[in-house]
Amino acid sequence: MESRINPMGNEIGAAWAKHIISSNKIIAGSTLPKAVQELVKIRASQINGCGGCLDMHTKDAAAAGESALRINLVGAWRETTVYTEAERAALELTDQGTRLADSSGVTDEAWANAEKHFDEDQLMALVGLICLINAFNRLNVITRTPGGEYQPGQYA
């Protein structure tokens, strides 16, 4: 697959990316568990078919110590036993928040379940993260940014 345009090689793209990347620092520095953050990024990227983001976030998760089993099973999280109830609540919110056009949005049940496991600041970080990874997924899918070349920590 060949990229249509290199967002980082374009003045507007690079400036936009700089701002959106800086918003991730707020989420990364929050009390939302790091494992949840990586699982959410992987799951949304699977749904959106974003090879570039899947390449990055699966490798970053592995480099951070996440098991291959848990990384590999994210796509079938409902049918597995390897995720905590909190992680499952975050993954459900991710699924519903990513597939907005497929339903009437996020259900009250999914939100209430997430509230059981995360405080208000963590919930806001989770919502922000779902929005952020969906924006990155769309950027990479529209521009056809391929996966496969990312090295863990490359953009740190």
pTM of the model as a whole: 0.93
* pLDDT average, residue stretch 117-130: 98
Domain boundaries, the chain: 7-143
Structural fold of domain 7-143: AhpD-like (1.20.1290)
Q: Reply yes or no on whether the pLDDT at 95 is more than 70.
A: yes
Q: State the pLDDT at residue 156.
A: 67
CA distances from 123 to 38, 107, 112 (A): 15, 15, 11
Rg (CA), the chain: 15
* pLDDT average, residue stretch 131-152: 91
The full DSSP string for 16-49 is HHHHHHHHHHHHHTSSS-HHHHHHHHHHHHHHHT
Rounded distance, CA 7 to CA 53, Å? 14
